[in-house]
Amino acid sequence: MRAKIFKHNVLVIYAAFLAGMLLSAGCKSTQNLGKGQYLVRKNRIVISSDHKISDRAELKDNLSKQIILKPNSNALDIPPFWVPYKLWRYNRRYAELHNKPDSSLPKSVERPVIIDSALMIKTIQNMKAFLFNQGYYYAKVRDTFIVKHKKAYVTYKITMGKNYKINKVLYFIDDSAIANIVMADTDDTRLQRGREFSYGLVADERSRLTAMIRNKGYFKFTQDNISFIQDTGDKAALKNVESPIEGAVNFISSSKTQKRSTLDLEVYIRLAEDTNAFKKYTTNAVHVFPDYKSFKDLLDTSLIEKQVDSMEFFYHHYYLHPGVLYQHIYMGPNELYSQLDYDKTQAKLTELGIFQYVRVLPAEDRNKPGFLDYNILLSPAKRFDFSTVYELSNGSDYSLGHQLGISIRDKNFLKGGNLLSIGVSGGVEFAYNNDAGNNFFNNFGLLTVYYGFNPSIDFPKFLAPIASSLFDNSNLPHTIIGFGDNAIDRVNYFKLVTKSFNFTYNWRQTQTVTWTLSPVFVNIITVPVVTDSFQKVLDSNEYLQNSYKPNFIEGENITFTYDDQVRKHNRNYSYLKLGIEEAGGVLSAINNLGASLNDLYQINYAQYTKFDFDAKHFFTIDQTVLAFRFDGGIGIPYGQSSALPYIKQYFSGGPYSLRGWRIRTLGPGSYYDSTVSNNATIDRTGDIKLEFIGEYRFPIAPMFGGSVKMNGAFFYDAGNIWLARKDPGYPGGEFEWNTLGQDIAADVGAGARFDIASFLTLRIDLAMPVKEPYYPYDNGWVFKEIDFNNPTWRSNNLVLNLSIGYPF
């Protein structure tokens, strides 16, 4: 006990010392400033407007990017701490560094960012230019700052100028064929009537028109062939759309005398310097070099030549079937040039994952005017890769869990661009018993052993029974065949073995929507070992008896996934996953047939339906992220099943769930057995699950010259699992709306994430429960019970999780 109290006091002293160091670092940040010099501490943007701004937060974020004088890098920006760690390092070596040029300064230090009127004027110009490009005329920007302890707090006050809405769009096109293309698709124009005008909108429309025209065979057509002229009726605001900042003027005469809030746009599509811009091009030949080394390959007659239809493939070593590549190349002889086909070919060959780089080079055939030859140059990537995943967690009474996963992948299995994955995993959990031995290590006893072997093959195409003609290859069709052999050995209780098989289709409907369909999956569950003590538990608990019995599962599932992370450029993006799974329907028909044949055969099988969801949203604020997740599901057993099979049940707790509880130790509902140690409980599982997780993620500091980035997080987790039906073995474990508030568990905590070379993220989370469903007072909130000075409370409530990757 004395050792624990001493350790706790040391932690308190260390925390106080660290806090003092942080305050000291912030206070000494101005120590080398001269007279009249002020350190930029914070920038603030205040926007006023006489009309509604649709996305004020995004506008502020973009305006903040125009600011030149930004505060020094800081580890924390949480009052009262401000830790400009690079500036602190600079000040410590001030005598050595202050006369050195910026280019020779180490990356671990920063000079103080000092108020500079010239740069503040430049910032104002940047903001006005940005607002003008967004369609705001006459914007006013004024800067002010106040000084406290030689630190300047800067405010940029912005009065939004007048902006215009689009009235009508007129087209002037020199070529009739191109005019037909453009006018047939005006419904999709970005320049819709009534929409707020901005130069970004004009740039988007220019890109859209260019892509649309190039997709119809016009290989040499470029954005230079398109120009826009605007008429606001307000001569003070009229400027050339192409270069508004440089001040080039291109007015349209207008007899209107009154200002108006709308503008007209004229779109001109004309020949530029290249007179072939209005000429259509056709593909002549396609040459593919799957193991390209250098430009000498283009003239090397010793290469191995293969042909699929009229497409030619040239190899140094025949390591990949040409048919695999042929399915992912979208241009062919005698086909009109299409920018879309060019882009899809580049993207889909890259997404095969077997090439280090992909280059698609079209060139005009000198011997056949109007025709293009393609050289597709592919450099093979490393065929095999190897990865590991490690997790460590602890819970009540110093229980420890370790899990290691090893994965080996062959990205060109059977020379077909097929992905062979072999995953091997294993783990152990230990229970700590103070009375088990005479030293710390002898007090740990083995609680659980689990291991698995899971190979799979991913084919980059649809295999029977789905015909490849039903889906375009641009949808990235995949067929995955997987097998599995996994076991859970709960020492002194049972051993459960699961053998699995799945046949799955995966395809992308759009850039953001993906579908996964398993027309068949099979799980065979056996329980080869059941101890006498556990059998007594099963005999007295119907739910456990149905959960742990041998079972045969055959079913199908489908999953819809929406993810706009790429489209939103990793900012303010969303993720939604919805899944439905059914088991037992086909077997029920077979079983009924068997019964009709005088019970010649019968099948013991599981019958259930499951609905799952997983919704996430990420709000990006400067360099910080507010991340939210709401996930769960419901499983409905029916027919001859009164409970879901064990491997299909839900659980809560652990490093990727409610982090204030060890994995599978929470629930169901408000059930709690105070007579049994947490380390000895059978896995807590249920038929229903609801979870909500919120995290505030923020950068702390780079380490080791920037190769490791340390980030922090504060989090709140809430949720639980429930039974679909009332069971006497778990009083309070069933889902009921009138007890939902009491049944929700909650924890809070903080964590650190170490991003190692943008390749691996090591996560450490420390959490504690703040709401326990089984706590009979204050609706389950346990704030009154929190006692950091009590070592027993700390050992029972503080849960440390060490894992790889973010929780979601």
Considering the domain architecture, whether residues 144 and 13 belong to the same structural domain is answered as yes
Considering the domain architecture, whether residues 22 and 140 belong to the same structural domain is answered as yes
State which of 261, 278, 295 marks the end of a domain: 278
Considering the domain architecture, whether residues 145 and 168 belong to the same structural domain is answered as no
Considering the domain architecture, whether residues 178 and 141 belong to the same structural domain is answered as no
Considering the domain architecture, whether residues 62 and 210 belong to the same structural domain is answered as no
pLDDT band at 245 (very low <50, low <70, confident <90, very high): very low
Positive or negative, the CA dihedral 523, 527, 533, 536 is positive
Residue 11 has pLDDT above 70, yes or no: no
Domain count for the chain, please give it: 3
pTM over 0.75: no
Cis preceding linkage at 465, omega within 30: yes
Considering the domain architecture, whether residues 119 and 180 belong to the same structural domain is answered as no
CA 487, chain centre distance (Å): 31
Residue 765 has pLDDT above 90, yes or no: yes
**Residue 723 falls inside a structural domain:** no
pLDDT of residue 468: 57
State which of 360, 380, 400 marks the end of a domain: 380
**Residue 17 falls inside a structural domain:** yes
Kindly state the percentage of the chain with pLDDT values over 70. Answer: 85
pLDDT band at 514 (very low <50, low <70, confident <90, very high): very high
Residue 332 sits in a domain whose CATH number is 3.10.20.310
Q: Where in 178-279 does DSSP place strands (E)? A: 226-231, 262-269
Residue 278 has pLDDT above 60, yes or no: yes
**Residue 116 falls inside a structural domain:** yes
pLDDT band at 262 (very low <50, low <70, confident <90, very high): confident
**Residue 750 falls inside a structural domain:** no
Of the candidates 769, 685, 722, 729, the one whose C-alpha atom is nearest the C-alpha of residue 490 is: 685
| Rounded CA separation 434/448 (Å) | 19
pLDDT of residue 503: 96
Angle formed by the axes of helices 199-214 and 339-351, to 10°? 90
pLDDT of residue 199: 86
Considering the domain architecture, whether residues 78 and 120 belong to the same structural domain is answered as yes
Residue 32 has pLDDT above 90, yes or no: no
pLDDT of residue 7: 42
**Window from 117-131, 391-405, 633-647 with minimum mean pLDDT:** 391-405
State which of 256, 278, 300 marks the end of a domain: 278
Considering the domain architecture, whether residues 237 and 104 belong to the same structural domain is answered as no
Highest mean pLDDT among 17-31, 668-682, 786-800: 786-800
**Window from 341-350, 415-424, 536-545, 670-679 with minimum mean pLDDT:** 670-679
pLDDT of residue 155: 96
Per-residue pLDDT tens digits for 579-619? 999 999 888 887 777 665 555 456 678 999 999 999 999 99
pLDDT band at 185 (very low <50, low <70, confident <90, very high): confident
pLDDT of residue 471: 58
Question: Residue 199 sits in which domain range?
Answer: 164-278
- 453's tokens: 């072997």
pLDDT of residue 398: 39
**Residue 371 falls inside a structural domain:** yes
Residue 511 has pLDDT above 90, yes or no: no
| Rounded CA separation 380/114 (Å) | 50
Considering the domain architecture, whether residues 16 and 110 belong to the same structural domain is answered as yes
Q: Are 87 and 112 in contact (CB under 8 A)?
A: yes
Long-range contacts of 560-568 (CB under 8 A, 24+ apart): 560/513, 560/514, 560/515, 561/513, 561/514, 561/515, 561/516, 562/512, 562/513, 563/512, 563/514, 564/512, 566/511, 566/512, 567/511, 567/512
**Residue 485 falls inside a structural domain:** no
Considering the domain architecture, whether residues 152 and 16 belong to the same structural domain is answered as yes
pLDDT of residue 529: 92
**Residue 443 falls inside a structural domain:** no
pLDDT of residue 238: 45
The CA-atom distances, in angstroms, between 684 and each of 62, 547, 609, 652 are: 48, 11, 20, 8
Considering the domain architecture, whether residues 27 and 128 belong to the same structural domain is answered as yes
**Residue 251 falls inside a structural domain:** yes
pLDDT of residue 438: 64
More confident residue, 397 or 573: 573
The residue-averaged pLDDT of 313-337 equals: 93
Considering the domain architecture, whether residues 133 and 170 belong to the same structural domain is answered as no
Per-residue pLDDT tens digits for 454-510? 999 999 888 877 655 555 556 778 999 999 999 999 888 899 999 999 999 999 888
- 678's tokens: 């947490």
Per-residue pLDDT tens digits for 50-109? 777 777 888 888 899 999 999 988 765 444 456 787 888 899 889 898 888 988 888 878
Q: Are 801 and 767 in contact (CB under 8 A)?
A: yes
